[in-house]
Structure 1
Amino acid sequence: MQLYNKLSAKERAALIDEAGTERLTLSFYTYAHIKNPEIFRNHLFIHWNELNVLGRIYVAKEGINAQLSVPAPDFEAFKKHLDSISFLKNVRLNIAREQDIKSFLKLKVKIRTKIVADGLDDGIFDVTDKGIHVNASTFNELIEDPDTVLVDMRNHYESEIGHFRGAVTPDVDTFRDSLDLIEEDLKDHKEDKKLVMYCTGGIRCEKASAYYKHKGFKNVFQLEGGIIEYARQVEEQGLENKFMGKNFVFDHRRAERITDDVIAHCHQCGQSCDVHVNCANEACHLLFIQCEACSEAMNTCCSVACKEINSLSYEEQKELRKGKGNSNKIFKKGRSEVLKYKQ
């Protein structure tokens, strides 16, 4: 019984090219009571591996959070399998606005304590007592209300390349960091303001809305389906698009463009740019924004030091890393003293 990937990312990429089959990038989540996450994890891997599904899936006792790439010809079989699971029947699937057949190159189904790392003690509040879900049309009306506070529940590197006009965009590294910061900023308006939240696909707002209601906020709303679903509804219904720029996504695409607005800047030279890259020095791997000119000049590295290391042979780089743990920069997103124009 195969419960692991037999192919490397490079081998899988070659097979995808050879097959020439269209693939659909999509995501979904749901909170549910899963008694045995390990059995459920194995069940998913076995069935999805047979369908050549790729992606990153987190399973916990509280539910499932999935970002996937599904072969287009096998989509109906995939959907049929989802519907065979009681708590996933008719679950909303957020189909990516921009498709890429190599958005994921491995199938990873991992067991986690939580499907989103929020650092909260769920025992102190009712996670099912959520805010009011609103569609794109109602969302547009709400955020025009002067008594509304619109909050981006994503991290700094996500909102930097795209966000809704007039939104509060906390300069935080983690979802957990934003929760207390927002509560403190709005502590005097828990009853007289409408708190409207949004995130990528909606999952962070599910937990945040329940948390803020527990904290005393009386009027809590969340954008159903997040930015992904909003963009779809705006296009299909001909609504005014109040989002600017790109929507950051957690796969090889890194982002999908929602509007032509470029609201970010290259972290190295300050020119208008909203393209995220990872530093080519594998010992660094820092995620940052880099324009084409800087990418060429720096060989897609974040600093001169990394550029020099990256120019060495693979064996020389490997020797330098020998016996050393990962640099903290590997886990950072756009936070480094070498990035002169990070704002």
Structure 2
Amino acid sequence: MILHNRVNKDVLKEQLQNSTEKRITISFYKYVKLENPQEYRDQLYADFFKLGVYGRIYVAHEGINAQISVPDANFDAFEKYIDNSPELSGERLNIAVDDNGKSFFKLKIQVRHKIVADGLNDETFDVTNRGVHLKAEEFNKLASDPNTVIVDMRNHYESEVGHFENAITPDVDTFKQSLPIIEDMLKDKKDKNLLMYCTGGIRCEKASAYYKHRGFKNVFQLEGGIIEYARQVKSQGLENKFKGKNFVFDERLGERISEDVIAVCHQCGQSDDTHTNCKNDGCHLLFIQCEKCAEEFEGCCSKECQDVIHLPEEEQAKIRKGINKGRQVFKKGRSEKLAFKK
């Protein structure tokens, strides 16, 4: 069996958009020791391929981090697989709250050094000594405490379209970059309640242990992240303290948590929170674009990129030769071309 995709991504994207198959978008992670990540990766690919799973999964000696979609018809079989897996049994599945089933178009599983790039030396502190996990109701209560500091552990382009009320939102590009910056910002607040959150909880797992190691006394984290918070708020009729969209790392680029629109189009300044990637394959800049600008610039971030997409494909290929922008899709969001980027 071939353990990787061999079909052109554009073909797969078109097939997904035209498909009427109902799919469920899910994320999960688990810190669990894997002796042979490559062997585990190959078996996981074979098993998930049979279940029709699409998505992006990272496997490392320290565990598994997955963002996937599963055919609705296979969901029971998928849950049974998770329950019967020694590595994954008992792990919570975060089900998307605003899902059209078009989140992923292929299955990709990679072996990495870590399941989240944090830049930390795990040998220098106890990674299992994590913060207190809070459910949505508990989070809301602690968030209202004047002795609490709420910190968004995500990147600038994530918090720009949605964040919790009164949260500190560091202007950072990566999780690795955020850790020392946040510590410096809070160096005189180590006795306060440090209340952290992220998309699905995984970044807070490591960050909470790190900050406890660095002397923070009262460390808390939102269990299941924004995704699980939104589900609990809806099912329990709780106050929703999250404003705007939750940025997600798949084809949807976001799921709405509240009707508040807190961002603006990066090209005209109009109120908007729709992320897109520049249609110029040599750019792929991640930015916010309203419908009017999307039409005017044909999905591009600038007039320069708009001119490029009208060139013959051979010329476009020459321009982008040697430039790999594909892996930078979610790592950008900054450009001098964007007049209204905060």
Counterpart position of 2:32: 32
Structure 1 residues 53, 125: CA separation in 2 closer, same or farther (over 3 Å shift)? same
Deviation at 1:40, TM superposition (A): 0.5
Confirm or deny: 8 A CA contact 1:130 1:210 kept in the other structure: yes
Deviation at 1:99, TM superposition (A): 1.6
Distance in structure 2 (CA, Å) of the matches to 1:227 and 1:83: 24
Distance in structure 2 (CA, Å) of the matches to 1:29 and 1:60: 11
Counterpart position of 1:207: 206
Counterpart position of 2:196: 197
If the length of structure 1 is used for normalisation, what is the TM-score?
0.96
Confirm or deny: 8 A CA contact 1:283 1:330 kept in the other structure: no
Distance in structure 1 (CA, Å) of the matches to 2:53 and 2:6: 14
User: Which residue, 323, 326, 340 being the options, matches 1:325?
Assistant: 323
Q: Which amino acid aligns with 2:29?
A: Y
Deviation at 1:63, TM superposition (A): 0.4
Structure 1 residues 259, 6: CA separation in 2 closer, same or farther (over 3 Å shift)? same
Structure 1 residues 137, 128: CA separation in 2 closer, same or farther (over 3 Å shift)? same
Q: Which amino acid aligns with 1:93?
A: L
Counterpart position of 1:258: 257
Counterpart position of 1:316: 315
Q: CA RMSD in A?
A: 1.6
Distance in structure 1 (CA, Å) of the matches to 2:171 and 2:318: 37
Confirm or deny: 8 A CA contact 1:284 1:329 kept in the other structure: no
Structure 1 residues 329, 34: CA separation in 2 closer, same or farther (over 3 Å shift)? closer
List alignment gaps of at least 5 residues for structure 2. none
Structure 1 residues 14, 290: CA separation in 2 closer, same or farther (over 3 Å shift)? closer
The 3-state SS of whatever aligns with 2:177 is helix
Deviation at 1:90, TM superposition (A): 2.1
Deviation at 1:187, TM superposition (A): 1.1
Confirm or deny: 8 A CA contact 2:284 2:326 kept in the other structure: no
Structure 1 residues 337, 13: CA separation in 2 closer, same or farther (over 3 Å shift)? closer
Distance in structure 1 (CA, Å) of the matches to 2:261 and 2:111: 37
If the length of structure 2 is used for normalisation, what is the TM-score?
0.96
Counterpart position of 1:186: 186
Deviations along 1:294-329, whole A, 9 cap, x unmatched?
Answer: 11111111111111111212222123334x323699
Aligned pairs, number: 341
Counterpart position of 1:93: 93
Counterpart position of 1:114: 114
Counterpart position of 1:177: 177
Deviations along 1:122-146, whole A, 9 cap, x unmatched?
Answer: 1100100000000000000000000
Deviations along 1:159-188, whole A, 9 cap, x unmatched?
Answer: 000000100000000111111111111111
Correspondence 1:217-256 to 2 at 5 A? 217-256=216-255
Counterpart position of 1:291: 290
Distance in structure 2 (CA, Å) of the matches to 1:22 and 1:339: 37
List alignment gaps of at least 5 residues for structure 1. none
Q: Which amino acid aligns with 2:72?
A: A
Distance in structure 1 (CA, Å) of the matches to 2:61 and 2:335: 36
Counterpart position of 1:43: 43
Distance in structure 1 (CA, Å) of the matches to 2:90 and 2:327: 40
